[in-house]
């Protein structure tokens, strides 16, 4: 048996899925301020811009082994940006919130199902929610006809989304097979891992990792995947949860109990479930290990012939285990790395180009009129409704965007309710 064996961290608190809500910080508001100094009677506007809100960043941390912290706390929010001040002082940007997850975590937008990041390399990171932009101070609104603008913008809200975190173990070899085939015992035999071993099915309820040493001193990470039964690819026995952990493995070892009533049928069932779950995974390098050679039934099975491509071993006595490890080492050395998940372009806060915004749409409802569109909704988010000057600017902007004309064409009359984003107004032609 291999002599150089390494242990892994205790995974008794192993959690491989979590659903969390992340909220980036809101940008700070711009300031309305004017320069006031002796002998400078017309100093002009000097309100500073607001600071950008903090972003939420997901980081792959090698020291983190579980997603358990995210099952006890669902809400995560970054810091808001600070408002601007007089003297053109820009507000402080909010601190980014960095969430550490285990290497191998896949980050998915829970509402759209889009994979945002596949953090399979230590120290890699992904922007999960971008902080809101800070509002502009009143110097930005100075013009030839308005030398003393009383207008500034509030900060924009940061991105907010529900994320699904899934940890897919990164291993060189995945041990797959039916329940009670001896996968955990085999992992104990080739590494210093200590998975639970008992004489009943489904002893292993979460994947276990061990580090084994192959010929030449090469260290291999081996994953013991919980037992697969017929229908596992469709979720039977939590099979769909277990199977995803072998997606990252370079090679598979099908472990079969040679003393079972129908070992070759068990092998065919497991191979079919892997094929059903992922045809690409089924084409990956693999070998067959018939376990429990110490039992008479297994010895009789080998004596009857069949299974010429299989390797026979006993995890209990160690018989055949060195030969199995040598074959695994050769197989992994020749196997290509598993493919990475298809990812979209890097996650960024979307800011439409000027002039490319679609015109607003007006819909009539029993309660009034709903105005929607990226440009008009952004205008609402950028307006301080507690300022008379800002309200006047807002009305002028609505006219320029064609909202007033669209409402009139839709039949809006004085006093009707108009809703834009989360704000409601009384229509006055």
Beta bridge partners of 405: none
Q: What is the pLDDT of residue 145?
A: 80
SS3 content of the chain, % helix, strand, coil (to 5): 25, 25, 50
For 290, the enclosing helix (H) or strand (E) is strand 285-291
Please name the helix (run of DSSP H) or strand (run of DSSP E) that holds residue 394, with its range, or none: helix 388-401
CA distance 103 to 124: 9
CA distance 262 to 271: 14
d(CA 160, CA 21): 7
Start-end of CATH 3.40.50.300 domains in the chain: 173-334
Beta bridge mates, 101: 60
Helix (H, G, I), strand (E, B) or coil at 406: helix
In the chain, residues under CATH classification 3.30.300.350 are 361-426
182-206 burial, b at 16+ Cβ within 10 Å, e below that, comes to bbbbbbbbbbebebeeeeeeebbeb
Under a CB-based contact definition with an 8 Å cutoff, are residues 420 and 371 in contact? yes
User: Cβ contacts of residue 426 below 8 Å, gap of 6+?
Assistant: 415, 416, 417, 418
**Residue 218 CB coordination number (10 Å):** 12
Residue range(s) of every CATH 2.70.210.12 domain in the chain: 19-167
CB-based burial of residue 112 (10 Å sphere; 0-12 exposed, 13-18 middle, 19+ buried)?
exposed
CATH architecture entry for 19-167: Distorted Sandwich (2.70)
CA angle 229, 294, 11 (to 5 degrees): 50
Q: Radius of gyration (Cα) for the chain, nearest Å?
A: 31
Helix spans in 157-312 (H): 183-190, 239-243, 263-277, 279-282, 296-303
Distance between CA atoms of residues 149 and 356, nearest Å: 28
268-282 exposure pattern, b = at least 16 Cβ within 10 A, e = fewer: ebbbebbeebeeebe
Could you give the CA distance from residue 151 to residue 139 in angstroms, rounded to a whole number? 9
- Secondary-structure class of domain 361-426 per CATH: alpha beta
Each of the 429 residues of the chain gets a pLDDT tens digit; together they read 343 443 333 333 344 788 999 999 999 999 999 988 777 777 789 999 999 999 999 998 888 877 888 988 999 999 999 999 998 899 999 999 999 998 888 898 988 888 888 887 888 888 999 999 999 998 988 887 888 888 888 888 899 999 999 887 677 888 888 888 888 888 888 876 554 443 433 344 456 777 887 777 778 888 887 755 444 334 443 334 556 667 778 889 999 999 888 899 889 888 888 888 888 888 889 999 999 999 999 999 988 876 668 899 998 899 999 999 989 888 988 888 766 655 544 433 333 333 344 678 888 888 888 988 878 887 887 787 777 777 777 888 888 888 888 888 888 888 888 888 878 888 877
The superfamily in CATH containing domain 173-334 is P-loop containing nucleotide triphosphate hydrolases (3.40.50.300)
Its pTM surpasses 0.95: no
Do residues 398 and 382 make contact, with C-beta atoms less than 8 angstroms apart?
A: no
| pLDDT score for 82 | 94
Closest CA to 178 of 313, 288, 283: 288
């Amino acid at each position: 048996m291999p002599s150089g064996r390494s242990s892994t961290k205790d995974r008794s608190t192993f959690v491989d899925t979590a659903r969390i809500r992340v909220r980036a910080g809101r940008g700070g508001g711009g300031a309305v301020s004017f320069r006031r100094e002796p002998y400078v009677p017309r100093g002009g506007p000097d309100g500073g811009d607001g600071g950008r809100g903090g972003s939420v960043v997901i980081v792959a941390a090698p020291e983190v082994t579980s997603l358990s912290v995210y099952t006890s706390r669902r809400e995560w929010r970054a810091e808001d940006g600070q408002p601007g001040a007089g003297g053109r002082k820009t507000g402080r940007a909010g601190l980014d919130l960095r969430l550490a997850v285990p290497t191998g975590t896949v980050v998915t937008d829970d509402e759209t199902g889009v994979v945002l990041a596949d953090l399979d390399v230590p120290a890699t990171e992904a922007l999960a929610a971008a902080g809101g932009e800070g509002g502009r101070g009143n110097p930005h609104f100075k013009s030839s006809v308005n030398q003393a603008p009383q207008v500034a913008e509030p900060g924009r809200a940061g991105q907010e989304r529900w994320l699904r975190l899934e940890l897919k173990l990164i291993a060189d070899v995945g041990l797959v097979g039916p329940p009670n085939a001896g996968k955990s015992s085999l992992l104990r035999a080739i590494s210093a891992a200590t998975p639970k071993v008992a004489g009943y099915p489904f002893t292993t309820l979460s994947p276990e990792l061990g580090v084994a040493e192959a010929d030449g001193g090469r260290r291999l990470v081996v994953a013991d995947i919980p037992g697969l039964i017929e229908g596992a690819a469709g979720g039977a026995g939590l099979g769909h949860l277990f199977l995803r952990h072998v997606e990252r493995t370079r090679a598979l070892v099908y472990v079969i109990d040679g003393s079972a009533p129908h070992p070759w049928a068990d092998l065919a069932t497991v191979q079919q479930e892997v094929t059903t779950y992922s045809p690409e995974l089924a084409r990956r390098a693999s070998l067959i290990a018939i376990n429990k050679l110490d039992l008479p039934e297994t010895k009789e099975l080998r004596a009857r012939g069949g299974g010429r491509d299989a390797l026979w071993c006993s995890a209990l006595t160690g018989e055949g285990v060195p030969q199995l490890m040598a074959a695994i080492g050769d197989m992994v050395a020749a196997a290509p790395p598993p493919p990475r998940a298809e990812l979209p372009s890097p996650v960024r806060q979307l800011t439409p180009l000027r002039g490319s915004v679609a015109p607003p749409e007006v819909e009539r409802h029993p309660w009034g009129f709903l105005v929607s569109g990226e440009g008009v909704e952004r205008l609402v988010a950028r307006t301080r409704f507690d300022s008379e000057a800002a309200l006047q600017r807002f009305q002028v902007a609505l006219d320029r965007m064609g909202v007033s004309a669209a409402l009139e064409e839709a039949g809006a009359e004085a006093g009707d309710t108009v809703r834009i984003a989360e704000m409601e107004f009384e229509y006055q032609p």
